[in-house]
Amino acid sequence: MKKILLVLTLLFTTSQSIIYAQSTETFFNDANTFFKLYVSNGKVDYKGIVAHPEALNKLMQQAQGIKVSEKNVTEFQSFWINAYNISVIKGIVNEFPISSPLDKKGFFDKTTYEIAGQKITLNDIENKMLRAKFKDARFHFVLVCGAKGCPPLIAEAYNPSTLEKQLEQQTVKALNNDSFIKASGKKVAISEIFKWYKEDFVRDGNEVDYLNKYRTNKIDAGAKVTYYTYDWRLNAK
């Protein structure tokens, strides 16, 4: 009898692991299809999603039941990055038409989404599930807040097998973009992202040191750093 129970327990555990693995893979694939369909040049077709919300609603439903362990770093990070970006779109679609995510009070810190078996805000995804656990400033170039001031949303999902390449690629792209990093001689104007999350960018030096890790044209080490005003207008097509 004990052997039978042990076998049944093992079978149940294995089947549950397979279900979670399959649902995670399905989620990544469906998210990839969604982003390819509704995102282009960093802009989101919110009108198209409002007209046909089925794919978005399916992704949100899938995200509710997915279980990911932070021991599997790339899967965990990929899931929560995609979950953040999809939830931002869901939040905007729920209020559409709006001209900025800030038009909805509590958009980032009050509105909750049911993801991975818990109710969670966008700020909690960013700060508790990602920043606090992994200390990687590159998250700021892949988490897209629905505004023009953000680095652009890519037309694909973040995937465990390609995550490191995607993180690096988006960081390099953002920090070499002259409209995002405005360098001139011994002056450089940078996004307020660097002010709000300064601790993330100065762990191994100062902000200019961080920028120069990824820039082709290096900024003068003694450059004066200022922050330009964040553009909160909606990143809509």
Name the residue ranges covered by the structural domains of the chain. Answer: 2-162
pLDDT value at residue 14: 37
Tokens 């003694």 found at? 222
pLDDT value at residue 16: 41
User: 118-121 and 43-44 as β-strands: parallel, antiparallel, unpaired?
Assistant: unpaired
* Cα 129 from Cα 69, distance rounded (Å): 11
pLDDT value at residue 126: 98
CB atoms within 10 A of CB 78: 26
Buried b (16+ CB within 10 A) or exposed e, 186-215: eebebbebbeebeebbeeeeebbebbbebe
Residues 165 and 121 sit within 8 Å (Cβ to Cβ)? no
pLDDT tens track, the chain, 237 positions:
444 433 333 333 333 443 444 479 999 999 999 999 999 999 999 999 999 999 999 999 999 999 999 999 999 999 999 999 999 999 999 999 999 999 999 999 999 999 999 999 999 999 999 999 999 999 999 999 999 999 999 999 999 999 999 999 999 999 999 999 999 999 999 999 999 999 999 999 999 999 999 999 999 999 999 999 999 999 999
pLDDT value at residue 79: 98
pTM to 2 decimals? 0.91
pLDDT value at residue 23: 76
